[in-house]
Chain A
Protein backbone atom coordinates (compact mmCIF):
# COMPACT_ATOMS: atom_id res chain seq x y z
CA UNK A 1 0.00 0.00 0.00
CA UNK A 2 1.48 3.29 -1.06
CA UNK A 3 0.91 6.74 0.33
CA UNK A 4 -1.87 7.70 -2.07
CA UNK A 5 -3.78 4.48 -1.38
CA UNK A 6 -3.54 5.22 2.33
CA UNK A 7 -5.07 8.62 1.68
CA UNK A 8 -7.98 7.08 -0.22
CA UNK A 9 -8.64 4.76 2.72
CA UNK A 10 -8.57 7.73 5.08
CA UNK A 11 -11.27 9.33 2.86
CA UNK A 12 -13.46 6.25 3.34
CA UNK A 13 -12.78 6.18 7.07
CA UNK A 14 -13.69 9.84 7.62
CA UNK A 15 -16.91 9.57 5.59
CA UNK A 16 -17.93 6.39 7.42
CA UNK A 17 -17.39 8.12 10.78
CA UNK A 18 -19.85 10.82 9.69
CA UNK A 19 -22.40 8.19 8.61
CA UNK A 20 -21.88 6.52 12.01
CA UNK A 21 -22.54 9.78 13.91
CA UNK A 22 -25.73 10.38 11.91
CA UNK A 23 -27.03 6.85 12.54
CA UNK A 24 -26.11 6.45 16.20
CA UNK A 25 -27.57 9.77 17.38
CA UNK A 26 -30.98 8.44 16.28
CA UNK A 27 -30.79 5.32 18.45
CA UNK A 28 -33.03 5.78 21.54
CA UNK A 29 -31.42 5.36 25.02
CA UNK A 30 -33.58 2.31 25.69
CA UNK A 31 -31.64 0.42 23.00
CA UNK A 32 -28.16 1.53 24.02
CA UNK A 33 -27.11 -1.86 25.39
CA UNK A 34 -28.18 -3.80 22.26
CA UNK A 35 -26.57 -1.06 20.16
CA UNK A 36 -23.33 -1.66 21.98
CA UNK A 37 -23.37 -5.45 21.71
CA UNK A 38 -24.59 -5.35 18.10
CA UNK A 39 -22.02 -2.81 16.95
CA UNK A 40 -19.49 -4.81 18.89
CA UNK A 41 -20.33 -7.84 16.77
CA UNK A 42 -19.83 -5.71 13.65
CA UNK A 43 -16.33 -4.81 14.87
CA UNK A 44 -15.66 -8.56 14.68
CA UNK A 45 -15.33 -7.91 10.93
CA UNK A 46 -11.62 -8.32 11.68
CA UNK A 47 -12.49 -11.98 11.05
CA UNK A 48 -12.00 -11.25 7.35
CA UNK A 49 -8.43 -10.22 8.04
CA UNK A 50 -7.95 -13.22 10.31
CA UNK A 51 -9.07 -15.66 7.61
CA UNK A 52 -6.78 -14.06 5.05
CA UNK A 53 -3.73 -14.12 7.34
CA UNK A 54 -4.33 -17.71 8.45
CA UNK A 55 -4.42 -18.91 4.85
CA UNK A 56 -1.42 -16.99 3.57
CA UNK A 57 1.30 -19.60 4.11
CA UNK A 58 1.69 -23.18 5.08
CA UNK A 59 1.94 -23.32 8.85
CA UNK A 60 4.26 -20.46 9.73
CA UNK A 61 4.08 -18.06 12.69
CA UNK A 62 1.69 -15.98 10.60
CA UNK A 63 -0.66 -18.91 10.18
CA UNK A 64 -0.94 -19.56 13.90
CA UNK A 65 -1.37 -15.90 14.76
CA UNK A 66 -4.10 -15.80 12.12
CA UNK A 67 -5.71 -18.93 13.53
CA UNK A 68 -5.88 -17.44 17.04
CA UNK A 69 -7.33 -14.28 15.52
CA UNK A 70 -10.04 -16.37 13.80
CA UNK A 71 -11.06 -17.88 17.14
CA UNK A 72 -11.11 -14.46 18.88
CA UNK A 73 -13.01 -12.73 16.09
CA UNK A 74 -15.57 -15.53 15.74
CA UNK A 75 -16.32 -15.39 19.47
CA UNK A 76 -16.85 -11.66 19.00
CA UNK A 77 -19.10 -12.07 15.95
CA UNK A 78 -21.24 -15.04 17.01
CA UNK A 79 -21.45 -14.03 20.68
CA UNK A 80 -22.26 -10.42 19.79
CA UNK A 81 -25.04 -11.06 17.28
CA UNK A 82 -26.66 -13.83 19.33
CA UNK A 83 -26.69 -11.93 22.59
CA UNK A 84 -28.07 -8.86 20.83
CA UNK A 85 -30.88 -10.91 19.33
CA UNK A 86 -31.60 -12.39 22.76
CA UNK A 87 -32.00 -8.90 24.20
CA UNK A 88 -33.99 -7.42 21.33
CA UNK A 89 -36.47 -10.29 21.51
CA UNK A 90 -37.44 -9.03 24.97
CA UNK A 91 -38.28 -5.47 23.97
CA UNK A 92 -42.05 -5.45 23.60
CA UNK A 93 -44.72 -2.82 23.41
CA UNK A 94 -48.09 -3.38 25.03
Chain B
Protein backbone atom coordinates (compact mmCIF):
# COMPACT_ATOMS: atom_id res chain seq x y z
CA UNK B 1 0.00 0.00 0.00
CA UNK B 2 1.12 3.55 -0.64
CA UNK B 3 4.40 2.51 -2.24
CA UNK B 4 4.38 5.75 -4.10
CA UNK B 5 4.68 7.85 -0.99
CA UNK B 6 6.45 5.54 1.38
CA UNK B 7 8.94 4.08 -1.12
CA UNK B 8 8.52 0.35 -0.70
CA UNK B 9 8.68 -1.67 2.45
CA UNK B 10 11.93 -0.33 3.79
CA UNK B 11 12.73 -0.59 7.46
CA UNK B 12 11.34 2.87 8.28
CA UNK B 13 7.98 1.91 6.83
CA UNK B 14 7.87 -1.27 8.90
CA UNK B 15 8.77 0.65 12.04
CA UNK B 16 6.13 3.26 11.27
CA UNK B 17 3.44 0.58 11.01
CA UNK B 18 4.49 -0.79 14.39
CA UNK B 19 4.38 2.68 15.94
CA UNK B 20 0.96 3.30 14.41
CA UNK B 21 -0.23 0.10 16.07
CA UNK B 22 1.17 1.26 19.41
CA UNK B 23 -0.59 4.61 18.94
CA UNK B 24 -3.89 2.87 18.22
CA UNK B 25 -3.53 0.81 21.41
CA UNK B 26 -2.71 3.98 23.40
CA UNK B 27 -5.89 5.64 22.08
CA UNK B 28 -7.95 2.65 23.20
CA UNK B 29 -6.33 2.58 26.65
CA UNK B 30 -6.73 6.34 26.92
CA UNK B 31 -10.49 6.13 26.39
CA UNK B 32 -10.72 3.08 28.67
CA UNK B 33 -9.21 5.08 31.51
CA UNK B 34 -11.92 7.72 31.07
CA UNK B 35 -14.27 5.27 32.79
CA UNK B 36 -13.32 6.79 36.17
CA UNK B 37 -12.47 10.36 37.22
CA UNK B 38 -9.51 8.93 39.13
CA UNK B 39 -7.73 7.58 36.05
CA UNK B 40 -9.17 9.94 33.44
CA UNK B 41 -6.31 12.41 33.43
CA UNK B 42 -3.82 9.61 32.94
CA UNK B 43 -5.97 8.33 30.07
CA UNK B 44 -5.89 11.68 28.34
CA UNK B 45 -2.11 11.68 28.73
CA UNK B 46 -1.82 8.20 27.19
CA UNK B 47 -3.92 9.28 24.21
CA UNK B 48 -1.81 12.39 23.69
CA UNK B 49 1.34 10.24 23.91
CA UNK B 50 -0.10 8.03 21.17
CA UNK B 51 -0.69 11.12 19.08
CA UNK B 52 2.81 12.42 19.71
CA UNK B 53 4.41 9.13 18.64
CA UNK B 54 2.27 9.02 15.49
CA UNK B 55 3.26 12.57 14.51
CA UNK B 56 6.94 11.88 15.19
CA UNK B 57 7.18 8.74 13.08
CA UNK B 58 5.18 10.41 10.30
CA UNK B 59 7.69 13.25 10.22
CA UNK B 60 10.44 10.63 9.75
CA UNK B 61 8.37 8.97 7.02
CA UNK B 62 8.01 12.20 5.07
CA UNK B 63 11.82 12.29 4.95
CA UNK B 64 11.31 15.93 5.84
CA UNK B 65 10.47 17.05 2.33
CA UNK B 66 9.14 20.63 2.70
CA UNK B 67 10.20 20.35 6.33
CA UNK B 68 9.99 24.10 6.90
CA UNK B 69 6.31 24.04 5.91
CA UNK B 70 5.59 21.09 8.17
CA UNK B 71 7.26 22.74 11.15
CA UNK B 72 5.58 26.11 10.56
CA UNK B 73 2.20 24.40 10.27
CA UNK B 74 2.74 22.47 13.49
CA UNK B 75 3.92 25.55 15.39
CA UNK B 76 1.14 27.84 14.13
CA UNK B 77 -1.59 25.26 14.78
CA UNK B 78 -0.07 24.31 18.12
CA UNK B 79 0.06 27.91 19.30
CA UNK B 80 -3.51 28.68 18.24
CA UNK B 81 -4.75 25.46 19.87
CA UNK B 82 -2.83 26.07 23.09
CA UNK B 83 -4.05 29.67 23.44
CA UNK B 84 -7.65 28.60 22.80
CA UNK B 85 -7.41 25.76 25.31
CA UNK B 86 -5.88 27.87 28.07
CA UNK B 87 -8.04 30.98 27.56
CA UNK B 88 -11.52 29.49 27.18
CA UNK B 89 -13.69 29.84 30.29
CA UNK B 90 -15.39 26.67 31.51
CA UNK B 91 -18.78 28.14 30.58
CA UNK B 92 -17.49 28.44 27.00
CA UNK B 93 -16.65 24.75 26.71
CA UNK B 94 -19.52 23.85 24.34
CA UNK B 95 -18.34 26.49 21.85
CA UNK B 96 -14.75 25.29 22.17
CA UNK B 97 -15.66 21.68 21.45
CA UNK B 98 -17.86 22.82 18.57
CA UNK B 99 -14.99 24.73 17.03
CA UNK B 100 -12.50 21.87 17.49
CA UNK B 101 -14.91 19.46 15.77
CA UNK B 102 -14.93 21.85 12.84
CA UNK B 103 -11.15 22.02 12.52
CA UNK B 104 -10.92 18.22 12.55
CA UNK B 105 -13.54 17.92 9.81
CA UNK B 106 -11.93 20.70 7.77
CA UNK B 107 -8.54 18.98 7.96
CA UNK B 108 -10.05 15.74 6.65
CA UNK B 109 -11.62 17.47 3.65
CA UNK B 110 -8.35 19.29 2.89
CA UNK B 111 -6.26 16.11 3.07
CA UNK B 112 -8.66 14.33 0.70
CA UNK B 113 -8.50 17.25 -1.74
CA UNK B 114 -4.72 17.33 -1.50
CA UNK B 115 -4.55 13.59 -2.23
CA UNK B 116 -6.83 14.10 -5.23
CA UNK B 117 -4.60 16.76 -6.77
CA UNK B 118 -1.55 14.71 -6.02
CA UNK B 119 -2.96 11.78 -7.96
CA UNK B 120 -4.34 14.01 -10.72
CA UNK B 121 -0.99 15.69 -11.37
CA UNK B 122 1.09 12.54 -11.28
CA UNK B 123 0.42 10.37 -14.34
CA UNK B 124 2.29 7.45 -12.79
CA UNK B 125 -0.33 7.00 -10.08
CA UNK B 126 -3.42 5.10 -11.08
CA UNK B 127 -6.83 6.23 -9.84
CA UNK B 128 -8.49 3.19 -8.32
CA UNK B 129 -12.26 3.49 -8.03
CA UNK B 130 -12.11 2.64 -4.34
CA UNK B 131 -9.69 5.51 -3.69
CA UNK B 132 -11.86 8.00 -5.56
CA UNK B 133 -14.93 6.87 -3.64
CA UNK B 134 -13.17 7.49 -0.34
CA UNK B 135 -11.87 10.88 -1.51
CA UNK B 136 -15.39 12.04 -2.41
CA UNK B 137 -16.80 10.72 0.88
CA UNK B 138 -14.02 12.34 2.85
CA UNK B 139 -14.68 15.71 1.22
CA UNK B 140 -18.44 15.40 1.77
CA UNK B 141 -18.24 14.43 5.46
CA UNK B 142 -15.30 16.71 6.26
CA UNK B 143 -16.88 19.78 4.66
CA UNK B 144 -20.28 19.21 6.32
CA UNK B 145 -18.53 18.82 9.68
CA UNK B 146 -16.54 22.01 9.07
CA UNK B 147 -19.34 24.45 8.25
CA UNK B 148 -21.87 22.66 10.48
CA UNK B 149 -19.54 23.07 13.44
CA UNK B 150 -18.94 26.73 12.63
CA UNK B 151 -22.71 27.33 12.69
CA UNK B 152 -23.02 25.38 15.96
CA UNK B 153 -20.21 27.50 17.39
CA UNK B 154 -21.99 30.65 16.18
CA UNK B 155 -25.24 29.56 17.82
CA UNK B 156 -23.56 28.80 21.14
CA UNK B 157 -21.60 32.06 21.02
CA UNK B 158 -24.87 33.80 20.10
CA UNK B 159 -23.47 35.19 16.87
CA UNK B 160 -26.03 33.10 15.00
CA UNK B 161 -29.61 32.89 16.28
CA UNK B 162 -30.27 30.09 18.75
CA UNK B 163 -33.82 29.79 17.51
CA UNK B 164 -35.15 27.02 15.34
CA UNK B 165 -34.64 28.43 11.85
CA UNK B 166 -37.10 27.24 9.22
CA UNK B 167 -36.61 28.08 5.59
CA UNK B 168 -38.86 27.34 2.63
CA UNK B 169 -38.55 23.88 1.09
CA UNK B 170 -36.08 22.95 3.84
CA UNK B 171 -36.25 19.17 3.54
CA UNK B 172 -36.71 18.86 -0.26
CA UNK B 173 -33.81 21.32 -0.75
CA UNK B 174 -31.43 19.38 1.49
CA UNK B 175 -32.45 16.05 -0.03
CA UNK B 176 -31.91 17.47 -3.51
CA UNK B 177 -28.45 18.82 -2.64
CA UNK B 178 -27.42 15.53 -1.07
CA UNK B 179 -28.69 13.61 -4.09
CA UNK B 180 -26.77 16.01 -6.35
CA UNK B 181 -23.56 15.37 -4.42
CA UNK B 182 -24.03 11.60 -4.68
CA UNK B 183 -24.66 11.74 -8.44
CA UNK B 184 -21.66 14.05 -8.94
CA UNK B 185 -19.59 11.67 -6.79
CA UNK B 186 -20.50 8.69 -8.99
CA UNK B 187 -19.54 10.65 -12.12
CA UNK B 188 -16.16 11.52 -10.55
CA UNK B 189 -15.53 7.87 -9.69
CA UNK B 190 -16.16 6.95 -13.33
CA UNK B 191 -13.99 9.80 -14.64
CA UNK B 192 -11.57 11.00 -11.95
CA UNK B 193 -10.27 13.86 -14.11
CA UNK B 194 -13.50 15.85 -13.54
CA UNK B 195 -11.70 18.35 -11.35
CA UNK B 196 -14.34 21.10 -11.46
CA UNK B 197 -17.10 18.71 -10.53
CA UNK B 198 -15.15 17.73 -7.40
CA UNK B 199 -14.88 21.39 -6.44
CA UNK B 200 -18.65 21.69 -6.89
CA UNK B 201 -19.07 18.69 -4.57
CA UNK B 202 -16.90 20.53 -2.03
CA UNK B 203 -18.93 23.75 -2.35
CA UNK B 204 -22.29 22.01 -2.06
CA UNK B 205 -21.06 20.02 0.97
CA UNK B 206 -20.03 23.24 2.67
CA UNK B 207 -23.49 24.71 2.02
CA UNK B 208 -25.14 21.50 3.29
CA UNK B 209 -23.28 21.80 6.59
CA UNK B 210 -24.82 25.26 7.12
CA UNK B 211 -28.31 24.20 6.07
CA UNK B 212 -28.33 21.09 8.26
CA UNK B 213 -27.30 22.77 11.53
CA UNK B 214 -29.11 26.11 11.10
CA UNK B 215 -32.57 24.68 11.90
CA UNK B 216 -31.40 23.12 15.19
CA UNK B 217 -32.44 25.19 18.22
CA UNK B 218 -30.19 26.34 21.06
CA UNK B 219 -31.18 23.80 23.70
CA UNK B 220 -30.91 20.98 21.14
CA UNK B 221 -27.22 21.82 20.84
CA UNK B 222 -26.16 18.86 23.04
CA UNK B 223 -27.44 16.63 20.26
CA UNK B 224 -25.91 18.71 17.47
CA UNK B 225 -22.50 18.92 19.12
CA UNK B 226 -22.47 15.18 19.85
CA UNK B 227 -23.48 14.40 16.29
CA UNK B 228 -20.80 16.69 14.83
CA UNK B 229 -18.32 15.01 17.20
CA UNK B 230 -19.30 11.72 15.65
CA UNK B 231 -18.94 13.17 12.14
CA UNK B 232 -15.44 14.44 12.91
CA UNK B 233 -14.49 10.87 13.83
CA UNK B 234 -16.03 9.44 10.68
CA UNK B 235 -14.21 12.14 8.69
CA UNK B 236 -10.88 11.07 10.23
CA UNK B 237 -11.67 7.43 9.45
CA UNK B 238 -12.52 8.31 5.85
CA UNK B 239 -9.14 10.05 5.56
CA UNK B 240 -7.70 6.75 6.77
CA UNK B 241 -9.45 5.00 3.89
CA UNK B 242 -8.04 7.55 1.42
CA UNK B 243 -4.49 7.02 2.72
CA UNK B 244 -4.96 3.28 3.38
CA UNK B 245 -3.88 3.87 6.99
CA UNK B 246 -5.42 1.58 9.62
CA UNK B 247 -4.48 3.80 12.56
CA UNK B 248 -6.56 6.68 11.20
CA UNK B 249 -9.41 4.25 10.60
CA UNK B 250 -9.24 2.90 14.17
CA UNK B 251 -8.94 6.35 15.82
CA UNK B 252 -11.73 7.75 13.64
CA UNK B 253 -14.00 4.78 14.34
CA UNK B 254 -13.51 5.17 18.12
CA UNK B 255 -14.47 8.83 17.98
CA UNK B 256 -17.34 8.16 15.59
CA UNK B 257 -18.73 5.57 18.02
CA UNK B 258 -18.24 7.91 20.98
CA UNK B 259 -20.10 10.78 19.36
CA UNK B 260 -22.88 8.46 18.26
CA UNK B 261 -23.43 7.05 21.75
CA UNK B 262 -23.52 10.55 23.27
CA UNK B 263 -25.99 11.61 20.59
CA UNK B 264 -28.28 8.73 21.51
CA UNK B 265 -28.00 9.47 25.25
CA UNK B 266 -28.96 13.10 24.58
CA UNK B 267 -31.94 12.10 22.42
CA UNK B 268 -33.14 9.68 25.11
CA UNK B 269 -32.79 12.48 27.68
CA UNK B 270 -35.31 14.47 25.66
CA UNK B 271 -37.46 11.50 24.63
CA UNK B 272 -37.05 12.47 21.00
CA UNK B 273 -35.78 10.67 17.94
CA UNK B 274 -32.60 11.77 16.24
CA UNK B 275 -34.62 12.61 13.12
CA UNK B 276 -36.94 14.85 15.14
CA UNK B 277 -34.02 16.89 16.50
CA UNK B 278 -32.06 17.06 13.25
CA UNK B 279 -35.04 18.02 11.15
CA UNK B 280 -35.91 21.03 13.27
CA UNK B 281 -37.87 19.85 16.27
CA UNK B 282 -40.52 21.61 18.30
CA UNK B 283 -42.58 24.27 16.61
CA UNK B 284 -42.67 26.37 19.76
CA UNK B 285 -39.04 25.73 20.67
CA UNK B 286 -36.59 28.50 21.20
CA UNK B 287 -39.15 31.26 21.71
CA UNK B 288 -38.61 33.35 24.79
CA UNK B 289 -40.85 35.75 26.63
CA UNK B 290 -43.88 35.18 28.82
CA UNK B 291 -45.88 32.06 28.20
CA UNK B 292 -49.03 32.55 26.22
CA UNK B 293 -52.04 32.38 28.50
CA UNK B 294 -49.88 32.26 31.58
CA UNK B 295 -51.08 31.63 35.13
CA UNK B 296 -54.27 29.69 34.48
CA UNK B 297 -53.44 27.73 37.61
CA UNK B 298 -53.50 30.61 40.08
CA UNK B 299 -50.84 32.56 41.84
CA UNK B 300 -47.22 31.68 42.43
CA UNK B 301 -45.73 32.10 45.90
CA UNK B 302 -42.56 34.09 45.97
CA UNK B 303 -40.03 34.35 48.80
CA UNK B 304 -37.13 36.65 49.55
CA UNK B 305 -33.63 35.72 50.70
CA UNK B 306 -34.35 36.20 54.38
CA UNK B 307 -37.41 33.93 54.47
CA UNK B 308 -35.62 31.31 52.42
CA UNK B 309 -32.58 31.40 54.71
CA UNK B 310 -34.84 30.76 57.70
CA UNK B 311 -36.42 27.79 55.90
CA UNK B 312 -33.02 26.34 54.97
CA UNK B 313 -31.73 26.78 58.51
CA UNK B 314 -34.05 24.07 59.77
CA UNK B 315 -33.75 21.36 57.11
CA UNK B 316 -31.57 18.27 56.93
CA UNK B 317 -31.30 17.52 53.20
CA UNK B 318 -31.08 19.67 50.06
CA UNK B 319 -30.74 18.74 46.41
CA UNK B 320 -29.58 21.36 43.92
CA UNK B 321 -30.74 21.13 40.32
CA UNK B 322 -28.55 23.24 38.04
CA UNK B 323 -29.50 24.17 34.49
CA UNK B 324 -28.27 26.31 31.62
CA UNK B 325 -29.33 29.44 33.55
CA UNK B 326 -26.59 28.71 36.09
CA UNK B 327 -24.01 28.66 33.30
CA UNK B 328 -25.31 31.90 31.78
CA UNK B 329 -25.18 33.69 35.15
CA UNK B 330 -21.74 32.13 35.90
CA UNK B 331 -23.28 31.21 39.26
CA UNK B 332 -21.38 27.98 39.94
CA UNK B 333 -19.06 29.55 42.53
CA UNK B 334 -21.97 31.25 44.33
CA UNK B 335 -23.78 27.90 44.39
CA UNK B 336 -20.68 26.27 45.86
CA UNK B 337 -20.58 28.89 48.65
CA UNK B 338 -24.22 28.23 49.46
CA UNK B 339 -23.62 24.46 49.46
CA UNK B 340 -20.66 24.91 51.82
CA UNK B 341 -22.68 27.14 54.17
CA UNK B 342 -25.43 24.52 54.27
CA UNK B 343 -22.99 21.70 54.94
CA UNK B 344 -21.52 23.67 57.78
CA UNK B 345 -24.97 23.60 59.35
CA UNK B 346 -25.04 19.83 58.97
CA UNK B 347 -27.31 19.71 55.93
CA UNK B 348 -26.82 16.85 53.46
CA UNK B 349 -26.18 18.51 50.09
CA UNK B 350 -26.35 16.77 46.72
CA UNK B 351 -26.62 17.81 43.09
CA UNK B 352 -29.01 16.22 40.60
CA UNK B 353 -27.95 16.52 36.97
CA UNK B 354 -30.28 15.92 34.07
CA UNK B 355 -28.59 14.42 30.99
CA UNK B 356 -29.54 17.36 28.76
CA UNK B 357 -28.97 20.17 31.29
CA UNK B 358 -26.77 22.79 29.65
CA UNK B 359 -25.53 22.96 26.10
CA UNK B 360 -23.44 19.80 25.83
CA UNK B 361 -23.20 16.39 27.53
CA UNK B 362 -21.69 16.78 31.01
CA UNK B 363 -21.73 20.60 30.83
CA UNK B 364 -23.02 21.05 34.43
CA UNK B 365 -20.51 18.56 35.85
CA UNK B 366 -17.60 20.52 34.44
CA UNK B 367 -18.90 23.81 35.81
CA UNK B 368 -19.48 22.35 39.28
CA UNK B 369 -16.05 20.70 39.20
CA UNK B 370 -14.59 24.10 38.34
CA UNK B 371 -16.25 25.46 41.50
CA UNK B 372 -14.47 22.70 43.43
CA UNK B 373 -17.57 20.70 44.19
CA UNK B 374 -16.38 17.11 44.49
CA UNK B 375 -17.81 14.66 41.99
CA UNK B 376 -19.12 12.26 44.65
CA UNK B 377 -21.89 14.84 45.29
CA UNK B 378 -22.98 14.93 41.65
CA UNK B 379 -25.74 12.44 40.85
CA UNK B 380 -27.12 11.35 37.49
CA UNK B 381 -30.90 11.53 37.15
CA UNK B 382 -31.56 7.80 37.52
CA UNK B 383 -29.41 7.61 40.66
CA UNK B 384 -31.18 10.34 42.62
CA UNK B 385 -34.73 10.56 41.30
CA UNK B 386 -36.13 8.16 43.92
CA UNK B 387 -34.64 10.25 46.74
CA UNK B 388 -36.69 13.39 46.16
CA UNK B 389 -39.65 12.31 48.38
CA UNK B 390 -37.21 12.00 51.32
CA UNK B 391 -35.65 15.38 50.63
CA UNK B 392 -36.58 18.56 52.46
CA UNK B 393 -35.74 21.12 49.79
CA UNK B 394 -34.95 20.93 46.09
CA UNK B 395 -33.35 24.12 44.76
CA UNK B 396 -33.66 24.63 41.01
CA UNK B 397 -31.17 27.07 39.53
CA UNK B 398 -31.78 28.10 35.95
CA UNK B 399 -33.42 24.83 34.87
CA UNK B 400 -36.96 24.66 33.53
CA UNK B 401 -38.15 22.03 31.07
CA UNK B 402 -36.18 19.23 32.78
CA UNK B 403 -38.29 19.68 35.95
CA UNK B 404 -41.67 20.28 34.29
CA UNK B 405 -44.14 17.71 35.69
CA UNK B 406 -46.26 18.09 32.55
CA UNK B 407 -43.80 15.68 30.95
CA UNK B 408 -45.30 12.95 33.17
CA UNK B 409 -49.02 13.38 32.65
CA UNK B 410 -49.92 16.02 30.04
CA UNK B 411 -50.19 14.10 26.78
CA UNK B 412 -50.73 17.34 24.85
CA UNK B 413 -47.44 18.84 26.05
CA UNK B 414 -44.58 18.89 23.54
CA UNK B 415 -42.28 17.50 26.22
CA UNK B 416 -44.64 14.66 27.22
CA UNK B 417 -42.65 11.49 27.87
CA UNK B 418 -39.37 13.27 28.46
CA UNK B 419 -37.68 11.92 31.61
CA UNK B 420 -37.60 14.65 34.26
CA UNK B 421 -36.08 15.22 37.68
CA UNK B 422 -38.78 14.62 40.32
CA UNK B 423 -38.11 17.89 42.12
CA UNK B 424 -41.83 18.35 42.83
CA UNK B 425 -41.78 15.29 45.10
CA UNK B 426 -39.49 17.10 47.55
CA UNK B 427 -41.22 18.61 50.60
CA UNK B 428 -40.44 22.09 49.31
CA UNK B 429 -39.16 23.04 45.89
CA UNK B 430 -37.46 26.40 45.45
CA UNK B 431 -37.15 27.76 41.93
CA UNK B 432 -34.60 30.45 41.24
CA UNK B 433 -35.35 32.24 37.98
CA UNK B 434 -35.09 35.77 36.69
CA UNK B 435 -38.75 35.85 35.65
CA UNK B 436 -41.72 33.62 34.94
CA UNK B 437 -40.67 33.29 31.31
CA UNK B 438 -40.93 29.97 29.56
CA UNK B 439 -38.07 27.53 29.06
CA UNK B 440 -36.64 26.32 25.79
CA UNK B 441 -39.66 24.25 24.84
CA UNK B 442 -41.68 27.47 24.90
CA UNK B 443 -44.22 26.11 27.33
CA UNK B 444 -45.50 27.13 30.73
CA UNK B 445 -44.18 25.21 33.73
CA UNK B 446 -46.99 24.11 36.04
CA UNK B 447 -44.45 23.33 38.77
CA UNK B 448 -44.30 27.06 39.61
CA UNK B 449 -47.93 26.93 40.69
CA UNK B 450 -47.65 23.83 42.88
CA UNK B 451 -48.53 24.26 46.56
CA UNK B 452 -45.03 23.16 47.68
CA UNK B 453 -43.27 25.49 45.19
CA UNK B 454 -41.59 28.76 46.15
CA UNK B 455 -40.31 31.20 43.55
CA UNK B 456 -37.08 32.96 44.43
CA UNK B 457 -36.61 35.61 41.74
CA UNK B 458 -33.31 37.15 40.73
CA UNK B 459 -30.09 36.63 38.79
CA UNK B 460 -28.72 33.25 39.89
CA UNK B 461 -25.30 34.47 40.98
CA UNK B 462 -26.58 37.48 42.89
CA UNK B 463 -29.52 35.56 44.40
CA UNK B 464 -27.32 32.71 45.67
CA UNK B 465 -24.79 35.10 47.18
CA UNK B 466 -27.56 37.02 48.96
CA UNK B 467 -29.03 33.77 50.30
CA UNK B 468 -25.63 32.57 51.55
CA UNK B 469 -25.09 35.85 53.42
CA UNK B 470 -28.54 35.68 55.03
CA UNK B 471 -27.87 32.10 56.05
CA UNK B 472 -24.55 33.02 57.64
CA UNK B 473 -26.16 35.91 59.53
CA UNK B 474 -28.77 33.74 61.20
Contacts and interface: CB of A to CB of B under 8 A. Distances in A.
Nearest to A30: B365
Contacts of B62: 51-52, 54-55
Contacts of A30: 37, 353, 362, 365, 375, 378, 380
B159 interface: no
Given A27-B34, A52-B5, A68-B110, A36 B258 contact: yes
Question: Which of B58, B93, B111, B375: most chain A Cβ within 10 A?
Answer: B111
A88 B40 contact: yes
Interface stretch (B78-86, B181-189, B289-297): B78-86
B85 A43 contact: no
B250 interface: yes
A51 B67 CA distance: 10
Contacts of B257: 16-17, 19-21, 24
Interface residues of A, number: 85
Given A12-B246, A89-B41, A69 B70 contact: no
Interface string B225-238: 11001001101110
A82 B380 CA distance: 26
Contacts of A9: 240-241, 244, 246, 249
Interface in A38-65: 38-63, 65
A7 to B, nearest CB: 9
Interface residues of B, number: 118
Contacts of B34: 23, 27, 31, 34-35, 38
A46 B235 contact: yes
Nearest to A92: B374
A85 B74 CA distance: 20
A93 B376 CA distance: 6
Nearest to A70: B73
Given A38-B34, A43-B235, A75-B100, A91 B40 contact: yes
A88 B252 contact: no
